[in-house]
Structure 1
């Protein structure tokens, strides 16, 4: 199955990050951070203005982005776990 997001929605996969303390305990990665790093998998066509003009998305498949923690909904794409978010939940493109 392949997902094609609609409108201003974007399909992303989040990077799993583990952090270790000095004592060697493993903490859930980025659980305390305001943003998470993700890779864009697919992008919708954009959003329409009130007069019908199409505004293209600012990101494209393959971009690394920072996303607000807790944004989007989790879905299964075959065996993969992906998230569908709105483009407005993306804080920045990582270059």
Structure 2
């Protein structure tokens, strides 16, 4: 299991596929500005100039919207994960 540092968040992206009338499968992320992901792990947060720790606003298990193309892709065993910054999170889906 990956443990992110600072304000980083480990997520798994949901693969959205759309089917056209002709039966062609189009990747959902190819034309959208955001992607849906599930938070797997969260770092402890970021420190201010005073040394105070600011806790992240997302927790493991949250469903979130992330800017398209954000973060880096990694593999943990057979799992395909991405590490993003908390600032790349657009919203929490409730």
TM-score of the pair, normalised by structure 2: 0.98
Structure 2 unmatched ranges of 5 or more: none
Could you list the runs of 5+ residues in structure 1 that have no partner in the other structure? Answer: none
Deviation of residue 28 (structure 1)?
Answer: 1.2
- Secondary structure at the aligned position of 2:64 is classed as strand
- Secondary structure of residue in 2 paired with 1:30: helix
Q: Which of structure 1's runs of 4+ aligned residues deviate more than 2 A?
A: none
Could you tell me the TM-score, scaled by structure 1's length?
0.97
Alignment partner of 1:89 is 2:88: yes
In 1, distance between residues paired with 2:61 and 2:30? 24
Which residue is equivalent to 2:63? 64
How many residues end up aligned between the 2 structures? 94
